[in-house]
Structure 1
Amino acid sequence: MVRQEAVANAVAVCTLPGSDPAAASEALRHELVTAGHMTDADAREAAGHLVRLARIYGAGPFTPLEKARHQLGVDRSAFRRLLDVFGVVPQLRSAVENGPSGKYWTNTLLPLERKGVFDAALHHKPVFPYSVGLYPGPTCMFRCHFCVRVTGARYDHSALDDGNKMFAALIDDIPTDNPDAMYVSGGLEPLTNPGLGSLVRRAAGRGFRLTLYTNAFALTDRTLERQGGLWRLHAVRTSLYGLNDAEYAATTGKKAAFGRVKANLERFQRLRSARAEPVKLGLNYIVLPGRGRRLLDLVDFIAELNAAAPDRPLDFVTLREDYSGRPDGLLSGAERADLQEALTGFREKVAARTPTLHVDYGYALNSLSAGADAELVRIRPETMRPTAHPQVAVQVDLLGDVYLYREAGFPGLPGADRYSIGKVSPGTTLTQVVERFVTSGGQIPPAEGDEYFMDGFDQVVTARLNQLEVDTADGWADQRGFLR
């Protein structure tokens, strides 16, 4: 039993920086022979290849199979045998999923694989989108410098009644087999829509677990009193734009915003505790270049929020990085070292001050915290897919316009209208909009700068579809994408 655990552990950590590939190979060789997968002679060479294969995909999940085969230096027959054996050794799969880039696998790729939506996109099959973003906000009170929103752009107040009727019909039309099929975001700030609570209540009544993405500026007592349906949310995810009024003013253009947001979050915690509401509360926080050490102050801020309701502390925080201004998306050596040190300090302080907090480090920060280079997927116009991926996700704004990418659903955004594939209306359902686009062979030729309509999720989905297409063209259709 001890020997089996040692083998499993040695192989399971083989993708992590600082691990010993030779020791993992020897442990794996013994396992392959003992389990009857290979003879000792075959296992000696195969074990090293399998460990290296795990390390390739633990760090680079979008690597085409042919490229991996060439890196191993084996012929197609031997490579196919390696892929078959890899699939029957659970420790190898664990090594990939827990590797430096494991969040790509566990957070996005494998859940979508299980739903079959990648195959639907590749085969141009019209299916209902796996994820539908509702963008109900008519305006926003912030002017964030990083936001693609056109300054002053908003929807006319007269669009609210028809827009909310459209959203209600859309909620009624969405299949109930996926409770997480919808989320509420924008575009513009969702809480500026006075009918949002009713829409949330309607969705919850059909069994959906909605997450609201908000800046929390309007998450006031008055809003919660008028829109009681907001308590039926599954989670409230607040985008945090700083840790004091000066940082908020510099980012959002609004004075005294930080104090109001903090007060709103503290009251929300007290209220959900008093009411025993199950809704979760969390933060999105972007680590800006050169400001990694602010993570320690973030822990202090969360601890202060928790003091408002010690029995209902903050549930989660999602950390993301912003290195979009760098041509290659990579950190310099000095930046990498500083951020790794900051992440180590952050983890230690979370354990000490907010031990119940769940931290999601995302794609690149997860790699960096594991000691590997932080690099995000970077899709360019030449690697965008003209057919996009409406089988995976679409977004619907207040006017009913259906957008292919998450950052395209902003009113008046130049060029974004090209990525609207139709309109949900009293005579047209979302199902019909998607079916018409897909079955007609709809395509949108990418133009320079169009990649900025895509958020991180869109980029990951696009990279995966490109990878699967290359694998299939290279004759690996049955093994495409490596992990399934």
Structure 2
Amino acid sequence: MKTTPTATAAPIGIADAARPDADRPAVVRALSAEVTRLTGAASDTAERQAARLADLTAHYGASPFTPLEQMRRRFDLDRAGFGRLLDLFDRIPQLGAAVEQGPAGKYWSNTIRPLNAAGALEAAVRREPAFPYSVGLYPGPTCMFRCHFCVRVTGAKYDAASVVPGNEILTSVIDEVPSENPTAMYLSGGLEPLTNPGIGALVSHAARRGFALTVYTNAFALTEQTLRRQPGLWDLGAVRTSLYGLNNDEYQATTGKRGAFERVRKNLQDFLRMRAERAAPVRLGLNHIILPGRANRLIDLVDFIAELNESSPDRPLDFVTVREDYSGRDDGRLSEDERTELREGLARFVDYAAERTPGMQTDLGYALESLRRGVDAQLLRIRPETMRPTAHPQVAVQIDLLGDVYLYREAGFPGLAGATRYIAGRVTPDRSLHSVVHDFVTSGRSVDPQPGDEFFLDGFDQSVTARLNQLEQDVADGWDQHRGLIRAV
């Protein structure tokens, strides 16, 4: 594996190479000087190489999943010449840093970089068994909402009798996960995690092993009564509440439940107040999906958060993440007019959030961060023909109350048509998660994707799939040494 050279002070201009508004001539001049210093090349040769390096860096800063052979053809270079360019890229570590800080930087910081460091992507590319980097626990037996963008089968739930043995299985998984990474596990679904009456005990058990679990919840059941019945919830690392609107009408239109908005708002206010009283370290944040017809509501979202914070002015909300709908369904896509409106409103949203909710972390995720920075990046859209039949269990798996180990995050719903094909195996009292993943990988088993299977992949699964496809294509094209452009961390 190639290594990253020790970084020196970045010459002026190189650090800006992936910025859409960068002074390209200044970047090329700075790079040309660096190329001359490193290679002794004549000025005209150094300038040509510098221009190509600037273009390479800008492209991957905005489009991180491009195969290297595609870039070679774009530059119209022979293999030897392109190989020298890639070698030179590696010798200027500021270029790799510039790519990771480009408009698509969230792909690098949120996904690629930590998976590179853990070796999870390498294991997937090499078809080698490895314990999953991320383990999702899906403890919810049911859900009180029916969100129009959710793949849940109406009325589907787990039998109440499965909860106790299911929690025992999930406890065994918690005991099995290596404790080096305190955020290796999370609680989600599937169905609503807080409908499990033993979730507090699961959280406390994980906390005793040093894990800081995050729960993804709709917060409808995050009542003061729930928190008193299940004090283990205070051992969570974070609570991420999916916010489905900013008033009663929006909430009912999305979730199908009357009065849900008022209840969720009160639950969040009570949680903030109780957290401050207990001086509990658990973080609280919101996940907000921008749905069609609501692209202009981001300023209202900040006002909503500011009003929540009045319940605990000394310990306000910690973070908010804003996303587009990754489902790929037509009813979740923003129109071109709305995307234009959104592009113009993102900067105002970030500035207004800094003004009204100082100290709150604002995360726009993959494509919206690019959009804010002037690159109209579309969401990844993995299709059945670009899905990986072997998936990526070395990177992530999800386990439900039955012990079934799902290969994709949006497949773990009971009764969902086609989802059982994406079960790698079942954890039982006699079979560990490690065994399930090891057997799936070493058996060479694969799943032939069918139309509609792409809806089983969430945004994380899609970005991981795109990265693995890129790495495998680079290897197949003979660029193993440089696959993915940036490998070392």
Stretch deviating more after TM superposition (46-55 or 66-75): 66-75
For residues 138 and 326 of structure 1, the distance between their equivalents in structure 2, rounded to whole angstroms, comes to 26
2:341 maps to what in 1? 338
Q: Secondary structure at the match of 1:110?
A: helix
Counterpart of 2:440, as a letter, is F
Percent sequence identity is 61
Relative to structure 1, is the Cα distance of residues 169 and 331 closer, same or farther in structure 2, using a 3 angstrom cutoff? closer
| RMSD value, Cα | 1.7
Counterpart of 2:306, as a letter, is A
Q: Residues 175-194 of structure 1 correspond to what in structure 2 (within 5 A)? A: 175-194=178-197
For residues 421 and 70 of structure 1, the distance between their equivalents in structure 2, rounded to whole angstroms, comes to 39
2:160 maps to what in 1? 157
1:93 aligns with 2:96: yes
2:443 to 399, 420, 440: 440
For residues 331 and 171 of structure 1, the distance between their equivalents in structure 2, rounded to whole angstroms, comes to 39
The answer for unaligned runs of 5 or more in structure 2 is 1-7
For residues 170 and 418 of structure 1, the distance between their equivalents in structure 2, rounded to whole angstroms, comes to 22
1:84 aligns with 2:87: yes
Query: Residue deviations 1:210-264, cap 9 Å, x none?
Result: 1000000111111111111111100000000000111111111111111110111
Deviation, 1:36, is: 5.7
TM-score (norm 1): 0.96
1:48 to 26, 47, 51: 51
Deviation, 1:206, is: 0.4
For residues 11 and 296 of structure 1, the distance between their equivalents in structure 2, rounded to whole angstroms, comes to 35
For residues 336 and 300 of structure 2, the distance between their equivalents in structure 1, rounded to whole angstroms, comes to 24
Q: Secondary structure at the match of 2:358?
A: coil
Q: Check the 8 A contact 2:103/2:370 in 1, yes or no.
A: yes
2:25 to 22, 27, 30: 22
For residues 270 and 352 of structure 2, the distance between their equivalents in structure 1, rounded to whole angstroms, comes to 25
Counterpart of 1:50, as a letter, is L
Relative to structure 1, is the Cα distance of residues 333 and 30 closer, same or farther in structure 2, using a 3 angstrom cutoff? farther
Query: Residue deviations 1:435-473, cap 9 Å, x none?
Result: 111111111111111111111111111111111111001
For residues 283 and 149 of structure 2, the distance between their equivalents in structure 1, rounded to whole angstroms, comes to 27
1:197 maps to what in 2? 200
1:310 aligns with 2:279: no
Q: Secondary structure at the match of 1:317?
A: strand
Q: Secondary structure at the match of 1:105?
A: helix
Deviation, 1:336, is: 3.1
2:5 maps to what in 1? none
1:393 to 387, 391, 396: 396
Stretch deviating more after TM superposition (285-294 or 103-112): 285-294
TM-score (norm 2): 0.95
The answer for unaligned runs of 5 or more in structure 1 is none
Query: Residue deviations 1:267-323, cap 9 Å, x none?
Result: 111111111111000000011234221000000000011111011111100100127
For residues 470 and 266 of structure 2, the distance between their equivalents in structure 1, rounded to whole angstroms, comes to 46
1:283 aligns with 2:293: no
Deviation, 1:63, is: 0.5
Deviation, 1:41, is: 4.4
Query: Residue deviations 1:121-160, cap 9 Å, x none?
Result: 1221111111010000000111111110000000111111
For residues 325 and 172 of structure 1, the distance between their equivalents in structure 2, rounded to whole angstroms, comes to 36
Stretch deviating more after TM superposition (64-73 or 409-418): 64-73
Query: Residue deviations 1:83-126, cap 9 Å, x none?
Result: 12212223312221121111111110121111111111122111
1:454 aligns with 2:464: no
For residues 233 and 98 of structure 2, the distance between their equivalents in structure 1, rounded to whole angstroms, comes to 40
Q: Check the 8 A contact 2:327/2:455 in 1, yes or no.
A: no
Q: Secondary structure at the match of 1:87?
A: helix
2:246 maps to what in 1? 243
Q: Secondary structure at the match of 1:96?
A: helix
Deviation, 1:330, is: 8.3
Q: Check the 8 A contact 1:289/1:322 in 2, yes or no.
A: no
1:69 to 72, 75, 87: 72
Q: Secondary structure at the match of 1:385?
A: coil
1:411 maps to what in 2? 414
Counterpart of 1:122, as a letter, is V
